[in-house]
Amino acid sequence: MWGGKTVTVVFPAYNEEESIAAAVLDFKSTGVVDEALVVDNNSRDRTAARAAEAGARVITENVQGYGAALRAGLRAATSDLIILSEPDGTFVGRDVKKLLAYADDFDMVCGTRTTRELLWRQANMGWFLRVGNTVVAKAMQWLFNGPSMSDCGCTLRLIRREALLDLVDQLTVTRSHFLPEMVILALLRGLRVIEIPINYRGRVGQSKITGTLAGTLKTGFAMIFLILRYRLFSPKRRE
């Protein structure tokens, strides 16, 4: 609990049995997380069992996709403050307190992995990914009159429950370009958004999204097309 408000951390998980328990325990050890919610997205290993053993509430999302799993987690979470994270060890549990420190003043608090001083040696954030993330994030910033942004694809973020209820039914993406849509919808609906630097470590196993050049490019182009679609065909920002 934080400032009298309950806190849930949502982990989308697909075949993450090697890392899920450690991730759940790391975030719960902060003393401010009331619930760890793991969304098992058709895992073929013991992800669900390991998560439950670590004290998480486990739900299942049968529609395959990173975005589908996150949407299911957002709908299932009942806390006042909902935090999205990864189950692969890339994020540090104590960074939730950085996000929570801004929760009174902002509706959505997004992490950025582009601060070099907080990039751990094994992190999958070379110059190509860092530049690509920054360019796409700046496009969102300029096209949707957003705050200063430098990372379009950082999962670690917080959203207040009342803000989530305002946009959850508008979310459409089920694949890996879900995160920019969440930010764009928040900006279009006049929500208060800020980005802050967080730690980014090497993951356990290989990324299913940016683990290959082909996967990285596919996700990047999907994000760009999503931004252009919203810019050209969405109503103006709500003040």
Contacts of 229 (CB under 8 A, 6+ apart): none
How many folded domains does the chain comprise? Answer: 1
Residue 202 belongs to domain with CATH number: 3.90.550.10
Residues 140 and 58: their CA atoms lie apart, in Å, by 33
Q: H-type helices in the chain, by residue range? A: 20-28, 47-53, 66-76, 96-100, 127-143, 161-167, 178-188, 213-233
Residue 15 domain boundaries? 7-233
Per-residue pLDDT at 199: 96
Q: Is residue 104 part of a domain?
A: yes
7 forms beta bridges with: 81
Rounded Cα distance, 46 and 87, in Å? 13
* Chain centre to alpha carbon of residue 86: 7
Domain membership of residue 238 (yes or no) is no
Q: What is the pLDDT of residue 120?
A: 78
Secondary structure (3-state) at 181: helix
**Nearest of 154, 139, 146, 153 to residue 227 by alpha carbon:** 139
How many other C-beta atoms are found inside a 10 Å radius of the C-beta of residue 40? Answer: 25
Three-state DSSP state, 194: strand
**Range 7-22 burial, b when 16+ CB lie within 10 A, else e:** bbbbbbbbbbbbbbbb
pLDDT per residue, tens digit, the chain (239 aa), is 999 999 999 999 999 999 999 999 999 999 999 999 999 999 999 999 999 999 999 999 999 999 999 999 999 999 999 999 999 999 999 999 999 999 999 999 999 998 888 887 777 767 777 788 899 999 999 999 999 999 998 999 999 999 999 999 999 999 989 999 999 999 999 999 999 999 999 877 565 555 566 767 888 888 988 999 998 876 655 55
Taking the C-alpha atoms of residue 221 and residue 237, their distance in angstroms, rounded to an integer, is 24
**168 occurs within a structural domain:** yes
pLDDT given for residue 206 in this prediction? 62
Residue 39 tokens read as: 């969304």
Please name the residue that has the structure tokens 């200063």: 148
CA separation for the pair 221, 223 (Å, rounded)? 5
2 occurs within a structural domain: no
Map tokens 């751990």 to a residue. 120
CB atoms within 10 A of CB 62: 9
Give pLDDT, residue 142. Answer: 95
